[in-house]
Amino acid sequence: MVAGLLRCRRGAAALDFAAAGSAFFVLLLVLIEGCWQVAVGAALDAGTREASRWAAMGQAPPEGYTASGYMTELILKSSGLPLDGAALAVTARSFAGFGALATPGAGTPGLGASGDVVQYTVVYRSAGLTPIGRALMSLGLLQIQLVTLVKNEPYPK
């Protein structure tokens, strides 16, 4: 009877798929998670470039917005992804020129004035997209940070 069961090949494909399929499924979820995090980083980069262009022109924010609040709004709108505004933090420090960047404590908070160099730091705490991604990241979050330097246009004061 045991010899007959060992010769029987029915269900062998299902057993092979169960062994290899689970590893393939985990690899697929890790790949999806990695692609999502790269897409979030690229979207934040595009949104930050768009928002810093607006700020470099010295325009006033719309009614009801602060300058930094409107920059956050522009980053979220320009990113093209459904990002969480509560997970996004934008800080700006202005410097008199590029040489002042090397001096500790030389920058002042804010968008600066005409001709100033402004350093924008964007931090986004991204939650994992998949259960595997949330399990692999500490606290289920990945911090994406980017820094952009922009020189303000010589706009009238």
**What is the three-state SS of 91-128?**
EEEEECCHHHHHCCCCCEECCCCCCCEEEEEEEEEEEC
Give the tens place of pLDDT for each residue, 10-36.
777 777 778 888 888 888 988 988 898
In angstroms and rounded to an integer, the radius of gyration of the C-alpha atoms of the chain is: 25
Token pair belonging to 87: 């997970």
Report field, pTM of the whole predicted structure over 0.85: no
What are the residue boundaries of the structural domains of the chain, listed by start? 10-152
Q: At what angle do helices 12-56 and 67-79 cross, to 10 degrees?
A: 140
Cα–Cα distance list, 53 to 1, 28, 67, 74 (Å): 78, 38, 13, 10
* pLDDT given at position 5: 53
pLDDT for residue 153 is more than 60: yes
pLDDT for residue 105 is more than 90: no
